Amino acid sequence: MAEIQRLVLSTPELLEYVLLYLDAQSLLTSAERVCRSWTRLIQTSPRLQQALFFKPIPPEQCREKLLNPLLARHFTGLLPASMDPSGVRDCNLRHAWSKQSDGRQKFFRREASWRRMLVQQPPASLAYVKVSRPRGDLIYKRYYLPCNVSPTTHLINDQVRMDLIGLRMNMLYDLVLESCFGSLRRHWICWEGHMPLEFPGYILTEQLTPFVERALQEADVVVIDHWRRSRAMSRFPCYQYAGEADRPVSPHADPTPHLPFEPLNSAGPDISRNDFDPRSNRLSALRALQHPYQDWGVNSNSTWVSGLACLELREEKLIPRVDSDDEE
C-alpha cells in the first residue's frame, strides 16, 4: 500500500487527478505548500489552473456556468451566493473575512492571487452602465468588456491595449473602487440577466431601464453605477485634509505626496473593519489605487489610465438639465 501511494504521489498525471478532487481553497493554500514538486505541478497544470479559475475553460467544455466559490465567499458585496435566486448585489466593498491587520495586508496586496481569478467559468463578459450628473445634466453611458477564451488584443482610442481572457476580479473590484473617488455613488451588480427589483425614487427608471436591458442582453455581468442623492459622505470619498476645509483628491494625481507617510502605512488596506473609520478607508482606497491597473494586462501611452478607458463605449445619451427645486 505504501509503495502504491508513493507511486501515485510521484507520478504527475496521477497526482494531478487526485488534486482535482480538492476544493479550491485547499488546492490554493494548502497543497502548494506540501513540496516544490507539488507547487510546480499546480502552477503549470492547465487543468489545475482552470480549477483555480486562473485559466479559462472553453464554453464548449462547460455544462453550466460556475461562479468562483472563493470569490463568492470573500466578496459577498460583489458576487452573489451560489443559491441566491436574485442574482443582484447592492454593492459594497467591506469584507468580514479577516479581522487581523496582517491578514488584511496580505489579502489586499496587488500581487494577491484573488486579483487574477476569473469570476466564473467559462469566462464572463462585462457591461458597465454609468449615470453621471455634471452640472445638472444627466449622462448615461454603456461600456462593454468582451469575453475571450484565448488572449486577444483590445484597442481603445489608440491608447490602451489589453490582452483579454474574460472578466477577472481585479477588473471588477478596481472599477467599483475607482468610481467611489470624490463622489457619492451607488452600485448594483447584476448576474445571470437579473434586473434589480426596484430603483430608488430619485432615479429616472424609464431612462435607465433600456440601458440596463441592453447591457443584460450582451454581457454575463452588468454593473450599474449611479449617483447617490444623499449628501452624506460616501463610503470611499477621497479627501485630503487641508486645515479646516476638505477638498477632493483626484485619483489622476499621485496621492502619496499629499498624505502623511506614517498614517498611510498604519491605515493599510483596511476596508473590512466593523467600527468603520472613514479616514482610514480613504487612505486605504488611495493606497489601493496608487498604481492602478498594473495587473490588468494594460499597455497605455498615458501614465494614468482610468478603468473605464479600458472598456469599449457602446452607447451614450445626454438628457439636458431641467431647472427645479429638487436638486441633488
Query: What tens digit of pLDDT does each residue of 138-192 get?
Result: 888 999 887 765 555 555 555 555 556 788 888 888 888 777 765 677 888 988 8
Position 308 scores a pLDDT of 77
- Chain segment 85-128, per-residue pLDDT in tens: 567 887 766 554 444 455 566 666 777 888 889 999 999 999 99
- Of the segments 103-117, 223-237, 243-257, which one has the largest average pLDDT value? 103-117
Position 44 scores a pLDDT of 92
> Could you tell me if 123 and 9 lie in one domain?
no
- Beta-bridge partner residues of 131: 140
Model confidence at 51: pLDDT above 90: yes
- Of the segments 3-17, 20-34, 247-261, which one has the largest average pLDDT value? 20-34
Position 154 scores a pLDDT of 55
CA-to-CA distance for 186 and 90, rounded, in angstroms?
A: 8
pLDDT range class, residue 232, cuts 50, 70, 90: very low
Q: Count of alpha carbons within 13 Å of 68, Cβ hemisphere only?
A: 29
> Could you tell me if 72 and 120 lie in one domain?
yes
- Beta-bridge partner residues of 185: 227
> Could you tell me if 46 and 60 lie in one domain?
no
Q: What is the pTM of this model?
A: 0.73
Model confidence at 291: pLDDT above 50: no
Cell 507511486 sits at which residue?
7
Region 221-241: mean pLDDT is 57
Q: Where is the domain boundary, 16, 34, 52?
A: 52
> Could you tell me if 98 and 28 lie in one domain?
no
Q: Where is the domain boundary, 52, 75, 94?
A: 52
What's the number of domains the chain is made of? 2
Region 231-248: mean pLDDT is 35
> Could you tell me if 211 and 151 lie in one domain?
yes
CA-to-CA distance for 56 and 122, rounded, in angstroms?
A: 6
Range of the domain at 7: 1-52
> Could you tell me if 291 and 173 lie in one domain?
yes
Q: Could you tell me if 150 and 124 are in contact, meaning their C-beta atoms sit under 8 angstroms apart?
A: no
Q: Where is the domain boundary, 18, 33, 52?
A: 52
> Could you tell me if 232 and 114 lie in one domain?
yes
> Across all residues in the chain, what is the average pLDDT?
70
Position 118 scores a pLDDT of 93
> Could you tell me if 129 and 27 lie in one domain?
no
> Could you tell me if 39 and 99 lie in one domain?
no
> Could you tell me if 33 and 115 lie in one domain?
no
Position 313 scores a pLDDT of 85
3-state secondary structure of 131: strand
Ranking 4-18, 144-158, 219-233, 302-316 by mean pLDDT, the lowest is 144-158
> Could you tell me if 45 and 60 lie in one domain?
no
